[in-house]
Chain A
Amino acid sequence: MSEIGKKIKGLNVPGILIGDILLVVFFSIMNENFFTSYNLMLILRNSCTLLLTSMGLTLVILMGKNDISVGSVVSMTAVIVAVLINKGLLVPLVLLIALAMGAAIGTINGILVAKLNFDYWVVAFSSMSIFAGLALVTTDGVTVSIKSDVLDYIGNGKILGLYVIIWIVILLTLLMIFIQNNTKFGYDVYSIGGSENVAKVSGVKVVKVRILVYMLSGLFASIAGIAIACMTNSGSPSVGTDYSFNAMAAVVIGGTSFAGGKGGIQGTVLGTLLLRILASGLSLMGIAATWQKAIIGLVIVSLIVIDVLNENRKNIKGLRRVYRNVA
């Protein structure tokens, strides 16, 4: 095998990358408006908020847990930003409050799951409904529009032909990939996901790392909420409703296994793109929004099934190999 071939194989995300490319090719053939710089930019732009949400969630799933409250945190943050800006607070202060809130929600979830050992589904589910409700309460269920040049610039301004928000997301993604792959914290996340027990007897501070990961999940969900507020110049209490499911889907499609310890943010980037390419292609082909939701839902379910089946197959293969591969 050539050097480059080996490197590509070493990346360990081939399936999803091929999926992305095939979809792009397919939609480019089906519709001439798909492969245009305008549309591609749109896809990137639409990927931003979902990617932000899924990035924190990736670490949670990598660690063998799950956090479906992220969607509610997205809504909650978008609403809080809108309300506070309209109250006349300074932009940096508003952003700080919003981020702190996201991190705080994440930390509480983390403490409930890691320290008090509650079932993570119940914890996530209750905080999902609590904050979905509070988001509705905050604006009484209506969408609040914002007028702020700074936020508008973050959401809709451009630098060197690319939207500011895309630049921000690229930087944050690179930072997170670095943290995931090269820091002690990242190593600990993989260790805990691989086996909590092994991590424990090897001296990894499991509880601390878990809480930190949940905090990051909340933090990134709130960054996504801010981004949505900036891009739409408004805060809507239901804007994050589908984000929990879609983010989970992006992570799993990207190759991070629910079992934990395997995968990473690189895959999530591609998974997010796949979802957004699919959405864009389907709209361009004139398929109704209601259908899109159903189709995307079906695609996601089948991909999750394939992921699990594939995992089982690999495990069996692994077992065989271990026992045949006698030194």
Chain B
Amino acid sequence: MSLKTKNRIDLISRFLILLVVILVLALLQPNAFLNASNLSQVIFQQAPFTILMAFGMSLAIISNGIDISMASNMVLSSYFSAPYFQNGQYLLGILVSLGVGVGFGLCNGILISKVKIEPFIATFSIDFVALGLAYVACDGVYIYGFPDTFRSLTNGSLIPGIPNIALFTILVFALLFFVTKCTIYGRALYTVGHNRTAAGFSGIRTDNIILSVYVINGLLASLTGILYLSRLNAADPTIKGTLTIDSIAAALIGGIAFGGGKGSVLNTVIGALVIMFIRNGMNIMGVSTNWQQAVVGFVILFSIFYERGLSILMAKFAEKKK
């Protein structure tokens, strides 16, 4: 079986999961779930944030790493830049947000690629520091109320029917898809994910590739932060919420596998939609948020079993073909 067929089967099977989830929810809650306003609310208003964060998580996992710190980085960059956006100093706000986001991304990248700390440990620690600093900076003071121009960043619709936030997400998706699938940077990224040593022996600057992944994640975190500010009309450290775990779950259930080199950002979108629909369904059915955390944990567990099962099946199929 060639790599292409394998990837295609994998993607289709993930799409089936999404269909099953939608189907089950549609059967359970035909009225509340399966109506245009709920679906568009989930797809266009809620999912974009998770999708954006899950993109970063996916890039990290494809490069055979992980980035736990993205959500905290998002919180910190949005909190620091919030006052400027409030005062209408947009350029300054963007600069501050990027400075914080990319700065922490760079920290992660250096710790992982140069100092060679395990990605989980490095980003887990940076997560702790970033969130700690966010609480220090906040000190109980929430920033809320932003100018309308800023709010229209997410609320408005440049193209009628599609909220700007969804438009942003589609743009980011298109860009990332192109970069990862059609450029030599993308090829290098996948190669590093598969086999960092061999990539290094082939003249790929593996350290720089890995560093760049975490810098891109910083960028994504800062962008998501700005959009979140605009959307929530408020900044405080608690907005981190469940983004970290949701984005990991999204990447894994979408078919981005631990060990690196597998899946694409399209998988991530599917995975993020699965997670958001599950959460939406639970909300509709009145399941408490406490339960939801456990459920998402189970989804992650399920996804690694699913991954294993699928690869065993494909191997058996390939053996038979021989």
Contacts and interface: CB of A to CB of B under 8 A. Distances in A.
A137 B291 contact: yes
B205 to A, nearest CB: 20
Nearest to A303: B125
B294 A116 contact: no
Interface string A289-313: 0110111111011001100110010
Given A122-B252, A137-B288, A304-B125, A294 B297 contact: no
A127 B121 contact: no
Contacts of B133: 294
Interface centre among A129, A293, A309 (most CB of B within 10 A): A129
A308 B112 CA distance: 11
B297 A301 contact: no
A194 interface: no
B8 interface: no
Contact of A294 (B117, B120, B126, B136): B136
A57 to B, nearest CB: 13
The size bracket of the interface on B is 35 or more
Contacts of B124: 68, 245, 248
A288 B136 CA distance: 9
Main secondary structure of the interface of A (DSSP, over half): helix
Contacts of A157: none
B128 A126 contact: no
A71 to B, nearest CB: 12
A64 to B, nearest CB: 11
Interface string A274-297: 000000000000001011011111
Contact of B132 (A121, A134, A140, A293): A293
Contacts of A214: none
Interface residues of A, number: 41
B135 A297 contact: no
Contacts of B294: 129-134, 137
A149 interface: no
Contact of A308 (B115, B126, B291): B115
Contacts of B292: 133
A246 to B, nearest CB: 9
Main secondary structure of the interface of B (DSSP, over half): helix
B24 interface: no
B185 interface: no
Contacts of B117: 304-305, 308
Interface in A245-263: 245, 248, 258
A230 interface: no
A216 B321 CA distance: 45
Interface stretch (B46-54, B162-170, B207-215, B300-308): B300-308
A119 B291 CA distance: 25
Interface string A132-167: 111011001100000000000000000000000000
Nearest to A135: B290
Contacts of B66: 121
Contact of A119 (B125, B136, B258): B258
Contact of B245 (A129, A136, A295, A298): A129
A119 B288 contact: no
A235 to B, nearest CB: 15
Contacts of A54: none
Interface centre among A68, A121, A134 (most CB of B within 10 A): A121
B254 to A, nearest CB: 14
B120 A140 contact: no
B276 interface: no
15 contacts: A119-B259, A121-B258, A122-B258, A122-B300, A126-B298, A126-B304, A133-B294, A137-B291, A140-B290, A245-B125, A294-B132, A295-B132, A300-B125, A300-B128, A301-B128
Q: Which 6 A-B pairs have the closest CB atoms?
A: A133-B294, A133-B293, A130-B297, A294-B132, A129-B297, A136-B290
Interface of A: 66, 68, 116, 118-119, 121-123, 125-134, 136-137, 140-141, 245, 248, 258, 288, 290-291, 293-298, 300-301, 304-305, 308-309, 312
